[in-house]
């Protein structure tokens, strides 16, 4: 029995870096898939695993150690329940853009709430600041102010000219960091900047729709020159949340949770109750309307049957 960490996942094959430094391509043992794991990927990059190698050289993952955390979203394939983006990470960098393409604030908030649920710090990197016009830059600065006020590291960067990358490089040094975001936000270009010589494939935006096209097709871990690792993942379009109890969604919005202690009722859902401190804070612009809309959308995600095929 050999142990190691999953450094690459193509969906059908996994590359495991063993504790003695070897890299072994593995498959998942057949019955392991059937042990109640309702996920499109029962094994993800970052997982600590046990593998066995048969006499013919074929290697199989037979066990996954308990995860200390993970980032999870609702699977696109509705016959499954979830898709684990990465496991056992120290931090996440969420790469976003205000245009070319535009990142929806609900997408940002859903990612942040999921990270909060597993105590994963998130650094928000607003990329492409070198190409924004005056109105777009004003919006980028507004988004930066919003999330910094809540307590998130948020910085304007440019993978094209290197602006802001010294700060980001320092943040990820010595950590296992997940990089995530929509397709087309410049994630691969950014990682190429941070790891010279890596040369990940990049692509131009769709001229017709101003949207990104997938250049990263599988998840993979790369070592940083200064120490630490980056997990690069395919771009994702939407972020359906999963496994949230509607009664505790507010816990994962720090500014809402902080103010909720002043609500009249302990079980306040912050929707229409009398004496709700959160609703009052929204009226007084101490909580943003966009964040509150995201909070409500996650509660709606948790409604039974919302994602069932009719």
Task: Report phi then psi at 13, rounded to 5.
Answer: -120, 150
Could you tell me the CATH superfamily of domain 85-232? Answer: P-loop containing nucleotide triphosphate hydrolases (3.40.50.300)
Kindly tell me if the per-residue pLDDT of 112 is higher than 70.
Answer: yes
Q: Where are the domains of the chain?
A: 2-66, 85-232, 246-301
Kindly tell me if the per-residue pLDDT of 54 is higher than 90.
Answer: no
Instruction: State the CATH class of domain 2-66.
Output: mainly beta
Question: What is the CATH number assigned to the segment(s) 246-301?
Answer: 1.10.40.50
- Predicted confidence (pLDDT) per residue in 27-43, tens digit: 987 666 545 556 777 89
Closest CA to 260 of 275, 245, 241, 246: 275
Cut 0.85: pTM above it: yes
Kindly tell me if the per-residue pLDDT of 58 is higher than 80.
Answer: yes
Kindly tell me if the per-residue pLDDT of 207 is higher than 90.
Answer: no
DSSP string, 242-307: -S--GGGGGGGSHHHHHHHTTSSSTT--SSS-TT-HHHHHHHTTSS-HHHHHHHHHHHHHTSTTTT
pLDDT range class, residue 244, cuts 50, 70, 90: confident
Q: Which of 3-17, 133-147, 232-246, 280-294 is predicted least confidently?
A: 232-246
């Amino acid at each position: 029995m050999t142990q190691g960490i999953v450094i690459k996942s193509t969906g059908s094959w996994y590359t495991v870096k063993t504790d003695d430094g070897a890299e072994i391509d593995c498959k998942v043992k057949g019955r392991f898939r059937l042990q109640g794991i309702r996920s499109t990927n029962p094994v993800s990059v970052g997982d600590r695993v046990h593998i066995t190698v048969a006499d013919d050289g074929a290697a199989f993952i037979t066990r996954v150690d308990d995860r200390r955390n993970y980032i999870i979203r609702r699977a696109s394939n509705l016959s499954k329940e979830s898709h684990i983006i990465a496991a056992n990470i120290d931090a996440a960098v969420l790469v976003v853009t205000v245009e070319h393409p535009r990142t929806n604030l609900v997408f940002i908030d859903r990612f942040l709430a999921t990270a909060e649920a597993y105590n994963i710090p998130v650094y928000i990197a607003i990329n492409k600041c070198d190409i924004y016009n005056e109105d777009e830059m004003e919006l980028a600065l507004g988004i930066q102010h919003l999330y910094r006020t809540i307590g998130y590291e948020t910085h304007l960067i440019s993978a094209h000219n290197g602006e802001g990358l010294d700060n980001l490089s320092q943040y990820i040094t010595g950590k296992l960091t997940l990089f995530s975001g929509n397709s087309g936000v410049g994630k691969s270009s950014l990682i190429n900047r941070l790891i010279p010589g890596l040369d990940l494939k990049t692509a131009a935006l769709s001229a017709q729709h101003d949207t990104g096209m997938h250049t990263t097709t599988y998840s993979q871990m790369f070592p940083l020159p200064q120490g630490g690792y980056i997990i690069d993942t395919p771009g994702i379009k939407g972020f359906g949340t999963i496994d949230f109890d509607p009664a505790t969604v507010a816990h994962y919005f720090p500014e809402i949770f902080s103010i909720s202690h002043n609500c009249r009722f302990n079980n306040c859902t912050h929707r229409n109750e009398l004496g709700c401190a959160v609703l009052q804070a929204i009226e007084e612009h101490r909580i943003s309307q966009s964040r509150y809309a995201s909070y409500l959308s996650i509660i709606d995600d948790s409604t039974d049957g919302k994602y069932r095929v009719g």
